Amino acid sequence: MIIGIDVGGTHTDAVLLSSNGIEKKIKVSTDSADLFHTILSSFTQLLDNIDPKKIQRVVISTTLTTNAIVQKNMDPVGMIVSAGPGIDPKEFRTGKHYYCVSGSINHRGIEKASVNKMEIEDIAKELKQAGIEYVGVVSKFCVRNPNHEILIKRILNKYVKKVFMGHHVSGNLNFPRRIVTTHLNAAVFSLHKSFFEAVQQSLSEMGLTIPIQILKADGGTMSLASSMVFPGQTVLSGPAASIMGAIPYAPKKKDAIVLDIGGTTTDISFLVDKTPLLEPMGIQRGRYKSLIRSLRTDSKGIGGDSTVRVKDKELMIGPDRQGPAMAFGGPEPTPTDALVVLGLMPEGHQENARKGIHRIALELGLTDLEAADQIFKKCCTVILKKTFEMIDKLNSQPVYTVHEFLEGYKISPRIILLLGGPAPYFAKKIEALYQIKAVAVPEYSVANAIGAALARTTCEVSVNADTEQGIVTAHEENFAEPISKTYSDDDLIETAYTLLKEKAVNSGADPDNLDEVEVVEFQKFNIVRNFSPRGKILRTKMQLKPGLIKGFEKVLH
Amino acid sequence: MLKAHQKTGLVFFPAFDWAIDPTHPEREERLLYTQDQVTEEGIFDIDGIIEYKPDIVTHHDIRRVHFCVPDEQTITTQSHLISAGGAKAIADAVLNKQVKNGFALVRPPGHHSMRVSHGGRGFCHINIEAIMVEYIRSQFGIKRIAIVDTDCHHGDGTNDIFWHDPDVLFISLHQDGRTMYPGTGFPGELGGPNAKGSNLNIPLPPGTSTEGYLYVIRNCVLPVLEEFKPDLIVNSAGQDNHYTDPLTNMNFSAQGYAELTTLLKPDIAVLEGGYSIEGALPYVNLGIILALAGLDYSGVVEPDFNAEQLKQSVSTTDKIKKTTDLVNSYWLQKDELRQKAGTPGDLQVRHREIFYDTDNIFERQKEKVRVCRDCGGCIEIDSNATPGCHMLAVHIPINACKDCIEAGYKFFDQADKTKFDRVFLQDRPNDSYTIK
Ligand SMILES: [Zn+2]
Ligand SMILES: [Zn+2]
């Protein structure tokens, strides 16, 4: 049997699955001040009358790191960055202990200015004095040559507890995002570590000793050990859980929209031929831009519990949540109250819901039913408008080759899959308003927890070969090997596949189940100097695609 | 968090799968290191820098500018159409006011392509700026446009296309034609009888450094622009003046290019040449982008930059000043020069021989232009290419007067079809193209 737990902002959903289907499902309120307690009580309820020895897999998705970022209660950490030519690295300051140091590496990975060891030594002493225990080190173009980062780490090791290096974060270029991401890893490390060590400890006291898997933003899982290297990957795993939960119901060879209507927000994402779309670079939310591999999701500040108010004769919904709906004892009218008043939702306190909606109706000069309908309609149109904007943006993504330009795939979804408490009501309304097929997925209220439980391990490797310099590297994996002038495309793919397999197994993947490998990118260039060929640059990115583990198909229908 | 002081649009189309041939300077790898640098700098994440997808130009877009012989299909590839489409996409973004300015980082380049195109010249098959400019004039009704070509080679294609057009000011700064391909672009080349002075050519001696280059911008280009008052400024932003370029002999730098951009304030910049793909392009392109967005570019310095080594000699400075004075004096006399150029209604004839180095074609041209004080005058071109076709082409300019439109149609109607492989009419006021 397997367990999936998705700790969301408002609710925590948990399921216990066997190959026969759902054995147990629970939904509790999240205590954001004590997530540990929320998780433990979910486990206690799930394991009631169950032999813990029967549990083969546990996957957890939490808002722990997301909350730490939002509430700005991350550890103060040191950052050391070296840039060389380009934009002033002071622009990317992460906090108080931020140092720009000498040293420069160019786009080919060739050293142009060396590291000043004395300078680093002085900074290390300063950090130690200030009581800083965790430090991030990022140099520009470290993904082409990480030697400066390694050298700086060696000096720092004597002075601080742990050093995080930029080249371990991603094989992608993007210096400012690498600074943000490395900083995040360093800043949430101790929180993440102590939290999950406590969880693991308590679970083993319950007799649950199998390794825990943690859900990542890209809809895949990683082992607890891997998460210690890169804790930032757990950010925004919630939307990932939902979209993974929708995969079984998406059409083959077609595009689908996934909407997860939560308490405060609605998450929007897309499936193409049952596979979720990934962010090209990494998670971005507003000003926050990172290199964390992530599913392409965005959210709109409208959910079942969003506050409804009237401002200048205009109906406003969200983005805040003042509590549950009035029908469930909350203080302000919400879309959920509108559903109750419309007679769509049988649960909740009818009279309280009507009281709230009546207030809105008076201000708009409408009847209660008209007002409730308008609120409901507005929720749908705002969410759909955002969805269509996202599709337009997806379809106008730049391309860099003639081939891609001519082949340019455009997504055009013909179905919307809905999750979350009010999913069935929204499905009906959206279908009526937009003449697009909309369905609530089975088990819509815990589909996110099912998604977490069934998500398989994902990972990606980036490998570069430069036959002029005679080297193939995957610095993210601490890999570098000499190669001959005749190193070929096939050689590169083979190297990448070997590295990917190794990484996947280390992250907790089933070694016999690694068939969903995909070459995401392959580029090849001749290096020419003075009109004669000097070698080749070969680059590839290979990934284990996000998807579901096998053997639990029955759960889904 | 960085925020652009003015919204800047970028089209980045490196055409990673297209080359003239594998070791040619115009090959797949050309913008690779630029892409690496720009991506590593996080340029596309800066608030106010917006990346656009390139468009693809249609044959109709090309036919506003060129007479492609035998036709568009034969002399272009998809890559040319997308490269020109990149410039077009930026034009749309700028003219629809989504951004304040924009930069099309595209390849292959286009500024050596002339109005008649039998194939590739100087790595160019169709003129991407000219196609963009004519699109802008047809689509957005903009009349006065200035094109400043800062590629190290004379922009002879663009020069040819706007040679007779008094509404397009074309200024080219380039290494002296006696020392550099294509061997043209001397100060006396001022345009046809109807447009004398609206073409300015400023040859610079080999070894010109940032100092000399910016001297010309401050003392000639900017004052001329000030007086011409264009509705739109286009920069053909070639980057082969760089001190590391393998094909040229100049001493310009990334800082110089960025400052040039700040001074010129182009609405649209379009990448042209530049073949120092590792040592120059990553830094020059970064400098130009930051300058367009109004961001600090002082840190964009080549790792091996040495100001002392790149200083220009006193004699170079002298030559540059003399050329600047000469060009300025031509600009002052432009009205007079046009008065003296011919009698309205007369036809002026010009014979030319054009060599297409990229495709090894030799072309002979006989061009007739109607002298006119009211418009650019209609043009008839008899062109014979070896190997290739013999054709006759008639161009009626976009702002043509009634008499020139009539005269143009007369050229076309009178053309004897049996003498040519093709007879073309480019009627810009009607935005139409006819083949007889
Ligand atoms: Zn050039
Ligand atoms: Zn006329």
- The residues facing B237 across adjacent strands are B271
Q: CATH for B3-335? A: 3.40.800.20
Q: How far is B46 from chain A (nearest CA, A)?
A: 9
Each residue's pLDDT tens digit, B246-296: 999 999 999 999 999 999 999 999 999 999 999 999 999 999 999 999 999
Average pLDDT score over chain A:
92
Eight-state DSSP code of residue A366? -
Instruction: Check whether residue A199 and residue A184 sit in a common domain.
Output: no
B365: Cα separation from own chain's centroid: 21
Would you kindly state where each structural domain of chain B is located, as residue ranges? 3-335, 342-435
Closest residue in A to B12 (Cα–Cα) = A400
Q: Is the CB of residue A85 less than 8 Å away from at least one CB of chain B? A: yes
- Least CB–CB distance from A533: residue in B22, B40, B54: B22
For residue A404, pLDDT beyond 80 = no
Mean pLDDT, rounded, for A196-203: 92
Q: Which residues of A74-99 are buried (b: 16+ CB within 10 A; e: fewer)?
A: beebbbbbbbbbbbebebbbbeebbb
Last residue within a domain, chosen from A444, A477, A494:
A444
- How far is A492 from B198, CA to CA, in rounded Å? 55
ipTM: 0.93
What band does A556 get if pLDDT is binned at 50, 70 and 90?
low
Spell out the alpha helix ranges (H) of B170-246: 210-216, 222-228
| Identity of residue B34 | T
Q: What are phi and psi of A187, to 5 degrees?
A: -80, -25
- Whether A183 and A330 share a structural domain: no
Q: What are φ and ψ of residue A179, in 5° steps? A: -65, -50
Most confident of A45-59, A520-534, B279-293: B279-293
Q: Is the pLDDT of residue A285 over 70?
A: yes
Position B15 confidence tier, pLDDT thresholds 50, 70, 90: confident
Taking phi over 0 as left and psi of -120 to 50 as alpha, with beta for the rest, A219 belongs to: left
Rounded distance between C-alpha atoms, residue B38 and residue B319, angstroms: 37
Is A203 domain-assigned? yes
Distance of alpha carbon B222 from alpha carbon B230, whole angstroms: 12
Q: Please say if the pLDDT value at position A83 is more than 90.
A: yes
**A390: its two tokens:** 């996202």
Residue A400: closest CA among chain B residues belongs to which residue?
B13
- Pick B82's closest partner by Cβ from A83, A402, A530: A402
Residue of A503, A543, A542 lying closest to A225 (CA atoms) = A503
Angle at A503 between CA A498 and CA A506, to 5 degrees: 125
What are the φ and ψ backbone dihedral angles of A387, each rounded to 5 degrees?
-60, -45
pLDDT digits (tens, 9 = 90+) for A434-488: 999 999 999 999 999 999 999 999 999 999 999 999 999 999 999 999 999 999 9
What is the predicted pLDDT for the residue at B181? 93
Optimal mutation site among B5, B20, B31, B40, interface A, most CBs of chain A within 10 A: B40
Residue B320 has pLDDT above 70, yes or no: yes
> Are the C-beta atoms of residues A255 and A413 closer than 8 Å to each other?
yes
Q: Which residue of B has its CA nearest to A140?
A: B40
pLDDT band at B18 (very low <50, low <70, confident <90, very high): confident
* Mean pLDDT for all residues in chain B: 95
Contact B41 A86 (CB under 8 A): yes
Instruction: Tell whether A554 is covered by a domain.
Output: no
Residue B17's closest chain A neighbor by CA? Answer: A401
Residues above pLDDT 70, as percent of chain A: 99
Residue B113's contacts (CB-CB under 8 Å, 6 or more residues apart) are B66, B121, B124, B125, B126, B127, B130, B157
Touching check for A287 and chain B: CB below 8 Å? Answer: yes
Distance of CA B342 from the midpoint of ligand 2 (Å): 13
* Residue A109, φ and ψ in degrees, nearest 5: 90, 20
Q: B105 is written with which tokens?
A: 């980082």
- Which residue spans within A83-129 are E strands per DSSP? 98-101, 104-105, 111-113
- Cα distance between residue B39 and residue B4, in whole Å: 17
Number of the ligand closest to the Cα of B246: 1
**Is residue A50 in some structural domain?**
yes
Q: Do A196 and A183 have their domain in common? A: no
Q: Residues A197, A182: one domain?
A: no
Q: Are strands A306-311 and A275-276 parallel, antiparallel or unpaired?
A: unpaired
Per-residue tokens: B58: 């249609």
Angstrom distance (rounded) from CA B63 to CA A34: 69
Same domain, A404 and A467: no
Residue A418: how many CB atoms within 10 A of its CB? 25
Q: For residue A199, what are its two tokens?
A: 């969880």
Tell me, rounded to whole angstroms, the distance of Cα B235 from its chain centroid. 8
The residues of B annotated with a catalytic role in the active site are 112
Task: Flag whether A36 is in a domain.
Answer: yes
More confident residue, B19 or B273: B273
Task: Please state, in angstroms and as integers, the Cα–Cα distance from residue A98 to each residue in A462, B76, B98, following that order.
Answer: 28, 52, 36
Which residues are within 5 Å of ligand 1 (an ion), measured at CB? Answer: B 151-153, 238, 240, 273
Peptide bond into B387 cis (omega under 30): yes
Contact B82 A405 (CB under 8 A): yes
Residue with tokens 């959920």: A336
Determine, for residues A526 and B23 on separate chains, whether the beta-carbon distance falls below 8 Å. Answer: yes
Per CB-CB distance under 8 Å, the chain B contacts of A106 are: 278, 303
Question: How close does chain A come to B305, measured CA to CA in Å?
Answer: 11
Judge whether A320 lies within some domain: yes
The whole-number pLDDT of residue A69 equals: 84
Instruction: Look at residues A278, A259, A225, A215 and name the one whose alpha carbon lies nearest to residue A65.
Output: A215
Q: Report H helices in A482-522.
A: 489-506
Nearest to A528 among B23, B33, B53 (CB): B23
Specify the CATH number for the domain of residue A254: 3.30.420.40
Q: Is the dihedral of CA B409, B410, B416, B420 positive or negative?
A: negative
Please check whether residues A285 and A407 belong to one and the same domain. Answer: yes
- Name the nearest CA neighbour of A255 among A229, A230, A273: A273
List chain B residues with CB under 8 Å of A290: none
Query: In Å, how far are A337, A357, B116 from A310, measured between CA atoms?
Result: 15, 11, 65
Clarify whether residues A308 and A426 are in a common domain: yes
Flag if A525 and B32 touch (Cβ within 8 Å).
Answer: yes
- Is A495 found in the same domain as A408? no
Task: Give percent helix, percent strand, percent coil of chain A, each to the nearest 5.
Answer: 40, 25, 35
> Taking a C-beta distance cutoff of 8 angstroms, is the pair B308, B209 a contact?
no
The number of angstroms, rounded, from the C-alpha of B217 to the middle of its chain's C-alpha atoms is 17
DSSP assignment, residue A457? B
At A139-179, the pLDDT tens digits run 999 999 999 999 999 999 999 999 999 999 999 999 999 99
Q: Indicate whether A329 and A405 sit together in one domain.
A: yes
Rounded CA gap, B216 and B328, in Å? 10
DSSP B40-103: HTTGGGSEEEEEE------HHHHTTT-EESS-HHHH--HHHHHHHHHHHHHHHHHHTTSSSEEE
Q: What is the pLDDT of residue A503?
A: 93
**Residues on chain B touching A140 (C-beta within 8 angstroms):** 40
Is A196 in the same domain as A116? no
Ligand 1 center from residue B153 Cα (angstroms) = 4
Q: Do B23 and A108 touch (CB under 8 A)?
A: no
Same domain, A223 and A263: no
Give the whole-number percent of chain B exceeding pLDDT 70.
Answer: 100
Q: What is the C-alpha to C-alpha distance for residues A290 and B253, in angstroms, rounded to an integer?
A: 32
Tell whether A396 lies on the interface with B, counting CB pairs under 8 A.
Answer: yes
Q: What is the mean pLDDT of residues B238-250?
A: 95
Tokens 């005749």 -> residue:
A486
For the CA atoms of B353, B357, B359, B365, the dihedral, rounded to the nearest 10 degrees, stands at: -10
Any domain includes A557: no
Query: Does the distance separating the beta carbons of B78 and A406 come in below 8 Å?
Result: yes
Contact A84, A175 (CB under 8 A): no
CB contact under 8 A, A401 and B17: yes
Alpha-carbon distance A175 to nearest alpha carbon in chain B (angstroms): 5
- Residue ranges of E strands in B158-310: 168-175, 199-204, 232-237, 268-271
Q: Are B320 and B216 in contact (CB under 8 A)?
A: yes
What is the C-alpha to C-alpha distance for residues B179 and B184, in angstroms, rounded to an integer? Answer: 10
The closest alpha carbon to A60, from A264, A208, A180, A188, belongs to A208
- C-alpha distance from B211 to closest chain A C-alpha (Å): 21
**End residue of a domain, out of A240, A269, A301:** A240
Whether residues A123 and A155 share a domain: the answer is yes
Domain that holds residue A525: 459-544
In chain A, residues with a C-beta closer than 8 Å to the C-beta of B32 are 525, 537
Per-residue pLDDT, B73: 93
Residue A306: which H helix or E strand, with range? strand A306-311
pLDDT of residue A74: 84
- The DSSP H or E segment spanning A474 is strand A471-474
d(CA A238, CA A487): 42
Please state at what angle helix B281-292 crosses helix B254-264, rounded to 10 degrees.
30
What spacing in Å lies between the alpha carbon of B401 and ligand 2's midpoint? Answer: 4
Number of domains in chain A: 4
Is residue A449 one of the residues assigned to a domain? Answer: no
Whether A534 contacts chain B with CB within 8 A: no
d(CA B147, CA B200): 10
Q: Hey, is B204 helix, strand or coil?
A: strand
Q: Which of A350-354, A509-513, B131-135 has the highest mean pLDDT?
A: B131-135
Q: For the residues B188-210, what does the mean pLDDT come to? A: 97
- Amino acid (one-letter) located at A110: I
User: Distance (Å) from the C-alpha of residue A111 to the closest C-alpha of chain B?
Assistant: 10
Distance separating alpha carbons of residues B113 and A303, to the nearest angstrom = 58
A370 is a domain residue: yes
CATH of the domain at A114: 3.40.50
Closest to A175 (Cβ–Cβ): which among B28, B42, B295?
B42
Please choose, from the candidates B74, B122, B94, the residue with its C-alpha nearest in 3D space to the C-alpha of residue B354.
B122
The whole-number average pLDDT for the span B207-234 is: 97
Which two tokens mark A303?
């959910």
Return the closest-CA partner of residue B51 out of B7, B82, B1, B15.
Answer: B7
Cα torsion A68, A71, A74, A80 to 10°: value is: 110
Q: pLDDT tens for residues B347-392?
A: 999 999 999 998 999 999 999 999 999 999 999 999 999 999 999 9
Integer angstrom CA distances of residue B86 from A233, B111, B287? 36, 15, 20
Contact at CB, A175 and B40, closer than 8 angstroms = yes
Q: How many CB atoms lie within 10 A of CB A316?
A: 13
